[in-house]
Amino acid sequence: MTAAERDRYSRQILFPGIGETGQKKLLESRVAVVGCGALGSFHAGALARAGVGHLTLIDRDYVEASNLQRQWLYEEEDAAQALPKAVAAANRLARINSSVNVTPVVADLTPANIADTLEGATLLLDGTDNFDTRYLINDYAVSENIPWIYGAAVGSYGLVMPVLPGETACLKCLYPEPPSGAQPTCETAGVVNTITAIIASLQVSLAYQVLVGGEVPRQITTIDIWSGAMRTRKQPVRDPDCPACGRREFVHLEGRRRVPVSLCGRNAVQLHERARPLDLADLASRLEPLGAVRRNEFALRFVLSPYELTIFPDGRAIIKGTTDVGVARSLYARYVGS
């Protein structure tokens, strides 16, 4: 550790739980943050400020004005430019701590890309908003013996749980199937920005304990910041019949492509309709006579009221204005091609 690093992180070094040995471990650590929304943007900022040496930020979405209420790294200009969240986060982190190596990945985490995307990471942080991706993270983490920290928040309520493969219950132990019925989302139930900050802080605190080799509490923590209730309960023991950590059947790692998915109450559908890259400049020239087009190096946005298509160089698209997969596919085929 250099003298400058000792000075920058001196307050952490003074804390007995971290110390100089722990700080050296943080500087050498590689952490992946999956999802750079309300939770993940806080994760990334806190980890960078703490001196975690290598961060991989994965997010499939772009910054919108409605994100700014709770997503801590983004500014109005990011939303105006419709920058991908991973890119906007990396840009901001470079100004917060230029010594941290940050790799932004503008993509949906899938069975086809998860091994390459998360290669080298020794800890995974959950900043996602859906069980499909969490099950995929869980399968990968258990199969590779990598710890990960589960977190979720909506309304004024949130929960946190560490998953330490071989030691604790995994996500599949607790939720063999995703919760049934309509579930509240930030778009349908709202969210208070303090609950996302608290849940993300607890996740990062657990991450520090994992990274420095501390004793990680084996517990589930739930908080409702509106009622003031905070509860912890001992984490259940591993289920020997769990498909993932018991029988080691990693069904979510199977397959090559993701099915179309409606995005968390956002009146939008994400599609993976092409297996080859797109030339966004060429696509822009074809679409400009038909509607409003904006393009940067990361994505193209095409507005044809009442729909808005955001198309990425890998062929992935987010079609806003519908939750009907058939309508979304029809729009994609009509304006992008098959």
Asked whether residue 262 carries a pLDDT value surpassing 60, the answer given is no
Which residue type is seen at 16? P
Handedness of CA 146, 111, 271, 284 (dihedral sign): positive
Condensed to tens digits (0 to 9), the pLDDT of residues 63-90 reads 989 999 999 999 999 999 989 999 999 9
CATH of 261-335, one of 3.30.310, 2.60.40, 1.10.10, 3.30.70: 3.30.310
Q: Is 170 a catalytic residue?
A: no
Average pLDDT, the chain: 91
What pLDDT, in 10s, does the model give residues 17-50?
999 999 999 999 999 999 999 999 999 999 999 9
Query: Residue 183's pLDDT band (boundaries 50, 70, 90)?
Result: low
Give the CA-trace dihedral at 26, 127, 59, 132, to 10 degrees: 130
CB 260 within 8 A of CB 325: yes
- Give CA–CA dist 165/173, Å, rounded: 12
**From the candidates 186, 242, 245, 264, which is the catalytic residue?**
186
Domain 3-253, CATH: 3.40.50.720
Tell me the residue ranges of DSSP E strands in 134-202: 148-154, 157-163
CA 231 – CA 177 distance, rounded (Å) = 24
Q: Give the tens place of pLDDT for each residue, 133-172.
A: 999 999 999 999 999 999 999 999 999 999 999 999 999 9
**Residues of each domain in the chain carrying CATH 3.30.310:** 261-335
Mean pLDDT along residues 228-233: 97
Domain with CATH 3.40.50.720 in the chain: 3-253
